[in-house]
């Protein structure tokens, strides 16, 4: 793709050493990713690092996630009652080797929050900071969004949309971006049962539960199935996705049906694009492999309801054991309690949480045409079907509708 005049202008600013922090913004489809590709092509690979907040965004630009690059490790805060509050990220463990005095390029910057950004910049001194993103798109999770116009030395806004090819659709997307409201001529259906599965469509929602229900309605099964081209969530690189997609019926047939959850517990070896070998284990809701936390890449294939139920059971088991130790030693102070616990108790508590996190962090496979807004951000599709009321806020809704190039349908029930 040949860069437009405004893209070239943005690229020249990104190459300018006098601008220490630059924010290149614009609505979805204005070619920010193309500028990143061209910028990386003109820079010496040893002089920059290319990052993004999520695995999907990082894979799209050929970079790394912020967490993996800076080695930001999850820490377990077990004095909580909600599953989603268990993990916090420990910025003190950032590895600074090879970061100082380099150009740091970050895509999808709207998802980078204040505390994470400050935590990084208090520990490194980049030669320059070049950020790409759209503040109206996905916001940070459990963090305050950054006011990039105030934070950066200079901001440039791209205006020409290269993605949307239908003028009527362009009006719908632009109007929603400006007002948060839909134009009346957007295509709508009352229920997903009014639709038929289309091989060229992408089906979008906010939660994996909703997507599994959508997939079950349209395809008859709610999980990644052998023979399908699958998409994984939970963090997984393309090579592992391909391995999950291919599958091996001779290995998996005896373990797999619509009611079971199958765990591929080791990364299969590939020969001539065919699956050579893999270890398979059935998850029965009680027993699963236990290995060091997040060390072995795995793929979860099977019914999502079984997966979610098992995950909740493992969280509850770990939480109950934690509360039992707190009651026994009469303290809510985590450090004090650990000093009092026996080695056997410490090991049991550790393994209980590892058992939960191993499953939580294993990528789950689903048919590739069913995607969350996080998985779809930064991508373009010919036709998009969206469960509108499953999307919780304007940023998710805008990301969803702005993925479409030609055809958009909203499920509004």
Span 78-120, pLDDT tens digits: 444 554 444 445 555 555 556 667 899 999 999 988 888 887 7
CA distance 229 to 234: 17
Q: Please, are residues 187 and 409 in contact by the beta-carbon 8 Å criterion?
A: yes
Over 70: is that where the pLDDT of 279 sits? no
Closest CA to 110 of 302, 377, 333: 377
User: For the ranges 195-204, 228-237, 352-361, 392-401, which has the lowest average pLDDT?
Assistant: 228-237
CA distance 307 to 262: 10
CA distance 344 to 361: 25
pLDDT at residue number 89: 52
Closest CA to 78 of 407, 354, 358: 354
Q: Please compute the mean of the pLDDT values over residues 286-310 and round it to a whole number.
A: 54
pLDDT at residue number 1: 62
Task: Quote the DSSP letter at residue 205.
Answer: E
* Share of residues in the chain with pLDDT > 90 (%): 33
Q: How far apart are the first and last CA of the chain?
A: 40
pLDDT at residue number 347: 86
CA distance 264 to 285: 16
For 42, residues 6+ apart whose C-beta sits below 8 A from its C-beta are 11, 15
Q: Please, are residues 384 and 201 in contact by the beta-carbon 8 Å criterion?
A: yes
Helix, strand or coil for residue 265? coil
3: which 2 tokens? 């860069």
CA distance 260 to 333: 40
Angle between helix 5-14 and helix 32-42 axes, rounded to 10 deg: 50
Tell me the pLDDT of the chain averaged across its residues.
77
Closest CA to 172 of 160, 188, 156, 184: 184
CA distance 53 to 91: 14
pLDDT at residue number 285: 40
List Cα–Cα distances, 69 to 97, 115, 227, 362, 392, in angstroms.
10, 17, 34, 20, 30
pLDDT at residue number 268: 40
């Amino acid at each position: 793709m040949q860069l437009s005049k405004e893209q070239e202008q943005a690229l020249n600013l990104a190459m300018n050493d006098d601008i220490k922090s630059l924010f290149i913004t614009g609505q979805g489809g204005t070619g920010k990713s193309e500028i990143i590709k061209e910028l990386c092509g003109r820079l010496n690979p040893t002089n920059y690092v290319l990052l993004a907040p999520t695995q999907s965004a990082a894979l799209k630009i050929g970079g790394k996630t912020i967490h993996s690059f800076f080695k930001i490790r999850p820490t377990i805060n077990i004095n909580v009652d909600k599953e989603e509050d268990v993990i916090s990220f420990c910025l003190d463990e950032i590895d600074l080797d090879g970061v100082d005095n380099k150009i740091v390029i970050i895509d999808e910057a709207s998802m980078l929050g204040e505390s994470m950004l400050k935590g990084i910049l208090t520990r490194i001194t980049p030669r320059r900071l070049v950020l790409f993103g759209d503040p109206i798109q996905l916001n940070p999770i459990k963090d305050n969004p950054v006011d990039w116009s105030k934070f950066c030395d200079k901001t440039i806004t791209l205006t020409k949309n290269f993605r949307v090819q239908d003028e009527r659709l362009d009006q719908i997307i632009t109007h929603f971006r400006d007002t948060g409201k839909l134009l009346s001529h957007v295509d709508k259906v009352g229920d997903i049962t009014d639709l038929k599965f289309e091989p060229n469509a992408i089906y979008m929602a906010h939660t994996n539960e909703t997507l599994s229900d959508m997939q079950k309605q349209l395809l008859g099964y709610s999980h990644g199935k052998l023979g399908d081209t699958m998409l994984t969530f939970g963090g997984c690189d393309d090579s592992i996705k391909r391995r999950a997609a291919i599958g091996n019926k001779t290995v998996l047939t005896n373990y797999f049906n619509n009611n079971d959850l199958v765990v591929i517990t080791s990364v299969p070896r590939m020969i001539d694009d065919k699956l050579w070998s893999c270890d398979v284990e059935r998850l029965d809701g009680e027993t699963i492999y236990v290995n060091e936390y997040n060390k072995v890449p795995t793929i979860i294939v099977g019914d999502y309801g079984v997966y979610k139920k098992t995950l909740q059971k493992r969280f509850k088991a770990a939480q109950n054991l934690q509360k039992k130790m707190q009651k026994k030693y009469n303290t809510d102070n985590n450090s004090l309690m650990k000093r009092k616990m026996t080695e056997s108790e410490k090991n049991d508590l550790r393994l209980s949480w590892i058992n939960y996190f191993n499953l939580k962090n294993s990528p789950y496979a689903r048919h590739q045409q069913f995607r969350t807004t996080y998985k779809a951000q930064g991508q373009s599709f010919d036709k998009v079907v969206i469960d509108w009321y499953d999307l919780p806020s304007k940023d998710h809704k805008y990301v969803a509708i702005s993925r479409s190039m030609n055809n958009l349908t909203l499920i509004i029930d």
